[in-house]
Every structure is written in C-alpha cells, then in structure tokens.
Amino acid sequence: MQKLQYEPAWDKAISAQDRLLIEQVFQQTKEQDKRISCCLIRTAINHKQQKLIITLIHNRTDQQLKFRNTEISIITETGKITQNFTIDALQIPPFCSMPWTFIFDESIDFQFTEIKQIDIEI
C-alpha cells in the first residue's frame, strides 16, 4: 500500500495549505499503474529567476529510489526539456510518495502553462 511521507525538513516547514494540497494530490494519484511517476503540484519562480516545480513523486517499487544524476524531463506542447539532478537528501523508500521541489536553471526556457507531464528517467 502506498504511503505519503515527507522529507524531515519539509515536514517541519510546510504550510498547512500546501500539506492539504499535497494530501489531495496523493489521494487522487496514489493508485496509478506506473511504477515511478511524478505529479505536478505547483510552480513558482525564485529570486534567481529559476523555475521551481513542486511535485509529488510516487515510488511504487520495492526498491529505494535515489536521485544520482537522474534525468527529470518536462514534456511540453513543443517538446521535451531535461535536466539531471543529484540530490542526496532525496531518497524515497519503497511504496512511498514524497513531495519535492525541482529547481530548473534559469537558462532552461519553457512556460509553466506548457507543461503536460513530468517524467523521471531511472
């Protein structure tokens, strides 16, 4: 059974409103068939003009999911944009879902409204 889990720093800092939104997305998407998937929660731009994509990552496998040079792809109406991530703090246990924010370099050009899906290449 899929379980929602927060990284400890997130668990301490997340707002009640964001927690509710994440829990709603979890309930709506936890039963999907894809073994590893990523659901869009929210988008933002930070002070460095980097694009922030807040996601809910589902690990529906029996293996821990680690992010070592892992390719994250944003599928848009016009194509695919990828960036590799190594995030030591992001380790998702088997059969768990966890929210995470991916920060895309300001040089990567896409509009948030163009996002159709987000893929994780493991």
Separation CA 94–CA 74 (nearest Å):
24
Separation CA 75–CA 82 (nearest Å):
9
Q: What is the pLDDT of residue 106?
A: 80
Q: What is the pLDDT of residue 105?
A: 83
Determine the 3-state secondary structure of 7 from DSSP.
coil
Determine the 3-state secondary structure of 113 from DSSP.
helix
Q: What is the pLDDT of residue 108?
A: 80
All residue ranges of the chain with pLDDT < 70 are none
Q: What is the pLDDT of residue 59?
A: 97
Query: What does DSSP say about strands 3-4 and 96-104: parallel, antiparallel, or unpaired?
Result: parallel
Q: In the Cβ-directed half-sphere of 49, how many Cα atoms lie within 13 Å?
A: 5
Determine the 3-state secondary structure of 24 from DSSP.
helix
